[in-house]
Amino acid sequence: MMYISKNKESESVSAKEFLLSIIGNAPYGIISIDLYGNITIINQQALTLLGKKEKPGEVINRKIIEFLKECPELGKNIVECLKRGRKPFDILETKVDHQYLSFRGRIILDGLIIVIEDVTNFVKSKNKIKEQVEKLEALDILKSQFLTITSHELKTPLTPIKAQTELLLGEERGKITEEQRISLDMVLRNIKRLDILLSDILDIARMKAGKLKLEMKKENLSDCIKEIITNTKLLAERKKITIETRMAELPKFVFDAGRIKQVLHNLLDNAIKFTGINGKIMIEAKKQKNEVLVQVKDTGIGISKNDAKTLFKEFGQLDTSLKRKQSGAGLGLFICKMIVEQHGGKIWVESKLGKGSTFYFTLPLKSGRGGIG
């Protein structure tokens, strides 16, 4: 806003000159029009951007609509703006010749000011980024399809391999020696590991495609926790890790027990994996307001604040070096997040490097989501 004193005529003249000099030297094209749509001020930059051959003096008093007839969209906005008053407009990316221009119109006391800017580079970079994103999305779909097909094909022969190994271990094909049992146990363990990995990949493909159906039933969460502790007991005992629980009286509530056990299993498996000999793990579950909060706390290696952001992403293994001690593909927490979120809950971690980690997740007591199927 400019203020010109009424009494000081000379100051008013110099203020006008000052204003014209600013407009003349502005890095943008500027056009001012009166309430009847006549051009009152225009700078050379505006004419250059619009590709006009005329000089500013030759354009003054001409009708803006006729002057900018190659930009009908802009003309419509100007008419609207003048009719309705006070309604500014921002039109980005109007193509004039080979460049993209942005027009911003603002009502002033006795007319309208239009600021014109060359946004060609901005639009081109934006289009390039959009193109790249589309390419990456297409590649991501291709990757998922490849993983799905490959996992299916690998899983199919795994079923008879597993069955035959179990037959041998059960001595249905004849007696086996202790050494043979040790070998077959190892074969079976690795078949199971491969089977879980393939199932994880298939789960992710299903979740990404929105095809994961939850089997929502009234279940007992404490029973699920107890079952998972029993399943991971051997792993913990091998590292002399004690697992304690603190479970408040929980009401039965609706969730997919199979999938929540998958979440609990991964959290507990991780806690055991990333905790040293003689460590401690505490599992707590309690009701708070209208949800249940589950915590899995360990005294393990911990996670830095920065790393905590990548954990829940696909292939979110923190140690990706070939020498890393712990196996796993880094899919577990990503799957946990998808399952918990599909239940309408949240999952997060609090941790300090070297001081252990606590993973939390919540499940709503009244789930409106998930879909029964």
Ligand X SMILES: Nc1ncnc2c1ncn2[C@@H]1O[C@H](COP(=O)(O)OP(=O)(O)O)[C@@H](O)[C@H]1O
Closer to Mg ion by Cβ: residue 206 or 273: 273
Which 3 state secondary structure label does DSSP give 210?
coil
Closer to ligand X by Cβ: residue 42 or 333: 333
- CA atoms of 172 and 139, how far apart (whole Å): 48
* Residue 357, binding choice from ligand X, Mg ion, none, Cβ under 5 to 8 Å by partner class: ligand X
* Residue 298, binding choice from Mg ion, ligand X, none, Cβ under 5 to 8 Å by partner class: ligand X
Answer for the pair 298, 275: CB distance below 8 angstroms, yes or no: yes
Write out the binding residues for ligand X, residues 240-269 only, by CB under 6 A.
266
Q: Label the pairing between strands 280-288 and 347-351.
A: unpaired
* Residue 274, binding choice from ligand X, Mg ion, none, Cβ under 5 to 8 Å by partner class: ligand X
> Measuring CA to CA, how many Å separate 318 from each of 193, 196, 268, 274, 306?
20, 20, 17, 12, 10
CB of 308 to Mg ion, least distance (A): 15
In which residue are the tokens 């051959």 written? 53
Which 3 state secondary structure label does DSSP give 194?
helix
279 binds ligand X (CB under 6 A): no
CB of 268 to ligand X, least distance (A): 9
Q: Binding residue for ligand X (CB under 6 A) from 311, 339, 347, 363?
A: 311
CB of 331 to Mg ion, least distance (A): 8
Exposure letters 71-86 (e unless 16+ CB within 10 A, then b): beebbebbeebbeeee
**How far, rounded to the nearest angstrom, does the alpha carbon of residue 347 sit from its chain's CA centroid?**
15
232 binds ligand X (CB under 6 A): no
Q: Binding residue for ligand X (CB under 6 A) from 32, 43, 232, 357?
A: 357
CB of 299 to ligand X, least distance (A): 10
Answer for the pair 292, 247: CB distance below 8 angstroms, yes or no: no
* Residue 317, binding choice from Mg ion, ligand X, none, Cβ under 5 to 8 Å by partner class: ligand X
> Measuring CA to CA, how many Å separate 305 from each of 261, 272, 309, 350, 352?
27, 21, 7, 8, 7
* Residue 279, binding choice from Mg ion, ligand X, none, Cβ under 5 to 8 Å by partner class: none
Residue 306, token pair as written in the block: 């920065």
Residues in the site for Mg ion, rule: CB under 5 A? 266, 270, 332
Which positions lie near ligand X, rule CB under 6 A?
A: 266, 270-271, 274, 298, 300-301, 303, 311, 316-319, 328-334, 357
